[in-house]
Amino acid sequence: MFRCFYSLAALVFCYTMLPAQTTLFLPRNLQKAYDNGTRSWDGNPGPKYWQNRAQYTITAKLDPATRRLSGEETIKYFNNSPDTLNRLRIKLQHDRYRKGAQRAYDVTASDVSDEGMAIEMLEFNGQPVDEKNRRRNTTFLDIGLKDDPIPPGSTVELRVKWSYTLPAGEDAARECVCDSTTFFVPYWYPQVAVYDDLSGWASHPYTGLQEFYHEFADYDVRISLPPGFQVWATGEWQNAADFLENTYLERWNAAHRAADVVSVFSEAELKSGAVYKKGPARAFHYKAADVPDFAFATSDHYNWDAISTVVDDKTGRRTFISAVYNTASTDYREVARIAADGIRLMSTYLPGYPFPYPCMTVFNGNDGMEYPMMCNDASTAPRSPMTLTVHEISHTYFPFMMGINEQDYAWMDEGWASFFDYTLSDSLSGHTLGRVRSYSPIAGTDNDVPPMVRSRNLSTAYRNASYQRPQNAYLTLLDLLGYESFHRCMTGYMDRWKSKHPMPFDFFNTWNEISGQNLDWFWRPWFFEWGYPDLGVQGPVRDEAANCQVLLIVRKGNIPVPVHVEVEYTDGSKEIFHQTAAVWKDGKQQFRISCARGKQVKTATLGLNTIPDVDRSDNRYPEQP
Ligand SMILES: [Zn+2]
């Protein structure tokens, strides 16, 4: 009961006021989650919270020469919902390349096919699924189950055999045919869609823009390639000892405990043929538990660096970290070290929550794109790879460990990854790298849409609403709460919603409750309203009684930001005044700063480059000509 911390009387009053439990605008369709008890007003999952789940067993084969990827899989699907499901919705994300599919971006014409993903066999609970019970629509395959619905609390099994050709065009965002023998493969297997307490079956297709909303699952995956190829993937490699000759197996094992970067193999070693044991063809076997997706990558000539770091000081648990790259990508020699330092900092500082996964591989692809335990990151040479590496790895927390619905609320994950890429790169680089995203130029324009507008409804406004504006909001929040309270809210939020699907009000309400403050005054302008941040400085004027000069900070925009003023006096001394955005909490339009007694202000400078402000021309005394 977060808003009722003033008195017991108010507390009782609030309880009797159910269910109008937030002062923020709550869309009518979200109210039912509170009525049904699947979400709680204090921000916790409700007593009746439920979530469906899947288990995948996949065997796949990639032929580099033709780029044909084919697979057979079994999906065990657990219906934990109270609903009887009369259809099962499967995502075929490659169908973005099917002729006539909806797309947010152009794709290369030669990557488009009539069939999209070829479904060669489809069985539901051991029975073939009749054509009339299949519906291909956008990137979904719906299986009609009117005659054989899935009751609450039951488990069903789907078997599917499929194949498609990996898109090779440069427009194949996030997927990479990096060269004729190097591939990064996401969005590749038939995957069950999310069925949740808010909307039922997820209904937004994969168009190439909004990224994830996946169900948590366990994966057991075997991937075959011709001899000489290595496979890196989500999860832990189960059969390294079957593949690697002793020298390389020892290096791989050593890297799991190493605090310095170890070369598992170089390009030359891989090409020499000495890395792998001779023998019959084998499949790379990977397992991952409780992740919302699975990606893999392969090459026959990349270098593999590895290292590990302690991610939980209480248990000594380590994460195994790999950087896998083309020899020409000179920046990549730093990536394993940066990734290890970044993961250590994520575990201990921000978010300050032990890194949840046993491994992380940064693969030299064509993008900056995250998957559970895998990143597809282009080379940034000659620039440092630090910000990109930290950004993509930090996505581990949002949207993966916290199963964010990015199709509707991308600010709940991209905003955080942007917050981490700035704060952690700034810290790791000794304040030489890391940059707050430029929000001021777009703030208050008609393309600066309140982040609470669902991401699926955005196109050109998507980026600012998902990255810039929330990053600036979270930095303002850190300043507002201070590290300790911020960290308590963050880790409390993570404990409550780990491996679940939090939505915006779970976030707002949890932070309100754990901070012990009703922060609705902060959430409302930053996430729900049109507007912009703009402060100005006026004065100085003399306060005779206090024998000092007074500066007036004027709030000209509705978005609350901190007040930071650097004053230089005529005697050469300087003073810094800093107030968090809380000074604007009660709707005040002005804030008074009393300068040092008996001193004369020579100059006053309002603002910092980390504080957004759409008009800085009024941020200085005397005014700049
Ligand atoms: Zn991102």
pLDDT tens readout for residues 156-175? 999 999 999 999 988 787 99
CA 132 – ligand 1 centroid, Å: 40
Q: Which residues contact 538 (CB under 8 A, 6 or more apart)?
A: 551, 552, 553, 554
Which of 519, 487, 528 has the alpha carbon at shortest distance from 584?
A: 519
Pairing type for strands 191-192 and 195-196 reads unpaired
What is the average pLDDT across 253-274?
A: 98
Give the tens place of pLDDT for each residue, 489-499. 999 999 999 99
What is the average pLDDT across 600-621?
A: 97
Tokens 């080379």 — which residue? 379
Provide φ and ψ at 136, rounded to 5°. -95, 120
Q: How confident is the model at residue 20 (pLDDT cuts 50, 70, 90)?
A: low
CA 17 – ligand 1 centroid, Å: 40
Q: What is the structure's pLDDT at 625?
A: 67
What is the average pLDDT across 359-366?
A: 98
Strand-pair partners of 235:
none
Evaluated on CA atoms 482, 483, 488, 491, the torsion sign reads positive
Rounded to whole angstroms, the Cα distance separating 254 from 307 reads 9
Name the strand (E) or helix (H) holding 392. helix 386-394
Give the tens place of pLDDT for each residue, 190-209. 999 999 999 999 999 999 88
Q: How confident is the model at residue 17 (pLDDT cuts 50, 70, 90)?
A: very low
Q: Mean pLDDT in the chain?
A: 95
CA distances for 45 relative to 34, 499, 512, 579, angstroms: 10, 12, 15, 34
Q: Quick one: tokens of 555?
A: 């709030």
pTM attached to this predicted model: 0.95
Provide φ and ψ at 485, rounded to 5°. -70, -40
Strand-pair partners of 90:
141, 192
Q: How confident is the model at residue 9 (pLDDT cuts 50, 70, 90)?
A: very low
CA 472 – ligand 1 centroid, Å: 15
CA 416 – ligand 1 centroid, Å: 8
Rounded to whole angstroms, the Cα distance separating 161 from 58 reads 10
CA 417 – ligand 1 centroid, Å: 6
CA 505 – ligand 1 centroid, Å: 22
CA 399 – ligand 1 centroid, Å: 9
Contact assessment for residue 235 and residue 288, using Cβ atoms and an 8 Å cutoff: yes
CA 7 – ligand 1 centroid, Å: 42
Q: What is the structure's pLDDT at 211?
A: 82
Sheet holding 303-312, edge to edge: 262-265, 303-312, 317-325, 359-364, 374-377, 368-371
What is the average pLDDT across 88-106?
A: 95
CA 356 – ligand 1 centroid, Å: 18
What is the average pLDDT across 387-410?
A: 97
Q: How many CB atoms lie within 10 A of CB 17?
A: 12
Q: How many CB atoms lie within 10 A of CB 291?
A: 23
CA 344 – ligand 1 centroid, Å: 19
CA 558 – ligand 1 centroid, Å: 27
CA 394 – ligand 1 centroid, Å: 9
Q: State the greatest distance between any 2 C-alpha atoms of the chain, in Å, as a whole number.
A: 92
**Which three-class secondary structure state does DSSP give residue 224?**
strand
Q: What is the structure's pLDDT at 171?
A: 79
Which of 585, 586, 522, 515 has the alpha carbon at shortest distance from 42?
A: 515
Domains of the chain are: 52-239+285-299 (2.60.40.1730), 535-621 (2.60.40)
Which of 272, 268, 325, 274 has the alpha carbon at shortest distance from 302?
A: 325
